[in-house]
Structure 1
């Protein structure tokens, strides 16, 4: 018995067809979680948007959330949450070919293609059409469940300017060593301390410099150690646009010392409005990609209480 045309069309419909008008924003977001040259990622699709997941040895995990509102077109017809594996470096390099400096390029992304590939093409260029196919694979592992829970009734968190956070971690470079992050409520202070051939300590004091440490929430003294290479991965590729926009990064310590680092990357279309419209107060709604890193502490370190 032959399937009706509507049934066969439904079977062949891709899980996702979406269009994005800021390729550079997507490149920036994905580059933020690329901490080594050869890296695999898992992409998860849903009616709510796209999530890209990268992880290493069960100690470090990063997620990029691209909510459907970031796309100018988002048609999801998949069942459940389809997932596929892809080379992160290849994906970023491919997207880079569609990004033209100073120009707003619109691309269309489709998955899956006839051979389960990821299809990318330009849709707004009159001169030429760029088209790419990226081979995907079936994910061989399931992402570890970080199960992030608050470390008590009061969340332990602080927000620091992204540029200052990156600079502090870069300054604490002790390859193969660990970095101790300590918080104390009185006076409200965050301390990063590295040990190597000597000791290096960087303090962020909330009341002294609120331009750097812009938020602080902690009701007891806590201290955990994290592998330097994993901590550095959370800031090593923060996009220059985030630094330029003077954005902040939020760090939260959950139960057991699990560290969550959150960055915000803009994927808004480059401003092409007439200046008079801008001066009238019109502003494009903020379109932000949410990026989260989860870093497990070293096992031999226990929470220090007052």
Structure 2
């Protein structure tokens, strides 16, 4: 028996998922340009997909093993491989039908180190796809995210409001200033171009938009607009519809972390994983994190 055949019989990972659309939504959220490479890392705890650009912007999609109805992991170490993000997302999208929760199986590696995807619950036909993988040609930069002090500099804002604010601040090629101040407790987004535009979120004025706020001192950092926009440009409609919140944290040196939650619960009239408050249990949520480096202006350099 050939070694390739043996590899096919003993894959590193075999997993099954009952909500393809939720997975497509999660991957699409970190797709900020047409042609984009991603690195997938497998472990006994789940799957991590990483994309980044020019060492200034990085995004990660965390798919915990609890998301899957089946997760069989037999690899030694943590295998990593590269894929085309767009190709992978588009491939998965062919398995998704509106209003129907397809059960798919993902297997890696195939005989030629490919990622294998197939439908497993259709009595009429089996859809099968192979996604070519490659040796990762990028080494993820170490964002080394650390707290900015003893008190976290963080706020949580409705995802729809955050996306709308960033869209409204569009100044191509420019930067956006994010300012937090404890008195009055507020967050300001300011764009500069052919004029100034500022959007303020006041904590005690509208807690329906600014859900949480923690800040013990005034801080201000600037970020490239194109990188900041990438954190919300492809937020799936399900996040907006569910009225979810996005959490932003400013770490040491102004590193910005933006966190979104995307539901990967099986779509049906019954929601066994939803609690009495209407929130999805963590096991059915894909965690998405963006890391954005601040601009280095003259004050920062000096």
Instruction: Tell me which interval the TM-score lies in, with the shorter structure as reference length.
Output: over 0.9
| Corresponding residue of 2:267 | 270
| Corresponding residue of 1:157 | 154
Q: Which runs of 5+ in 1 are unaligned?
A: 3-7
Q: For residue 90 of structure 2, give the secondary structure of its aligned residue in structure 1.
A: helix
Deviations 1:244-297 (A, max 9, x none): 00000000000000000000000000124499xx9x999984510000000000
Counterpart CA distance in 2 for 1:274 and 1:39 is: 34
Counterpart CA distance in 2 for 1:282 and 1:297 is: 36
Q: Please, what TM-score do these two structures have when normalized by structure 2? A: 0.93
Cα distance change of structure 1 residues 248 and 299 upon mapping to structure 2, 3 Å threshold: same
Q: For residue 233 of structure 2, give the secondary structure of its aligned residue in structure 1.
A: coil
Deviations 1:19-56 (A, max 9, x none): 00000000000000000000000000000000000000
Q: For residue 121 of structure 1, give the secondary structure of its aligned residue in structure 2.
A: strand
| Residue 88 (structure 1) aligned with residue 89 (structure 2) | no
| Corresponding residue of 1:60 | 57
Q: Which runs of 5+ in 2 are unaligned?
A: none
**4+ residue segments displaced more than 6 Å:** 280-284
Of residues 109, 114, 117, the one that matches 1:112 is: 109
Deviations 1:166-213 (A, max 9, x none): 000000000000000000001101000000000000000000000000
Counterpart CA distance in 2 for 1:274 and 1:87 is: 33
Counterpart CA distance in 1 for 2:294 and 2:161 is: 22
Aligned residues: 295
Counterpart CA distance in 2 for 1:35 and 1:86 is: 16
Cα distance change of structure 1 residues 24 and 224 upon mapping to structure 2, 3 Å threshold: same
Deviations 1:90-128 (A, max 9, x none): 001000000010011000000100000000000000010
Counterpart CA distance in 2 for 1:207 and 1:273 is: 36
| Residue 34 (structure 1) aligned with residue 31 (structure 2) | yes
| Residue 45 (structure 1) aligned with residue 34 (structure 2) | no
Counterpart CA distance in 1 for 2:278 and 2:70 is: 22
Q: For residue 86 of structure 2, give the secondary structure of its aligned residue in structure 1.
A: helix
Q: For residue 264 of structure 1, give the secondary structure of its aligned residue in structure 2.
A: strand
| Residue 139 (structure 1) aligned with residue 136 (structure 2) | yes
| Corresponding residue of 2:289 | 292
Q: Does structure 2 conserve the Cα–Cα contact (< 8 Å) formed by 1:224 and 1:302?
A: no
Q: Give the number of the structure whose alpha-carbon radius of gyration is greater.
A: 1
Cα RMSD between the aligned structures?
2.3
Structure 1 residue 9: deviation in Å?
Answer: 5.6
- Please give the residue correspondences for 1:180-195 in structure 2 after superposition, counting only pairs within 5 Å: 180-195=177-192
Q: Please, what TM-score do these two structures have when normalized by structure 1? A: 0.92
| Residue 202 (structure 1) aligned with residue 199 (structure 2) | yes
Cα distance change of structure 1 residues 99 and 197 upon mapping to structure 2, 3 Å threshold: same
Q: Does structure 1 conserve the Cα–Cα contact (< 8 Å) formed by 2:256 and 2:292?
A: yes
Counterpart CA distance in 1 for 2:270 and 2:225 is: 44
Q: For residue 98 of structure 1, give the secondary structure of its aligned residue in structure 2.
A: coil
Counterpart CA distance in 1 for 2:291 and 2:6 is: 41
Q: For residue 42 of structure 1, give the secondary structure of its aligned residue in structure 2.
A: strand
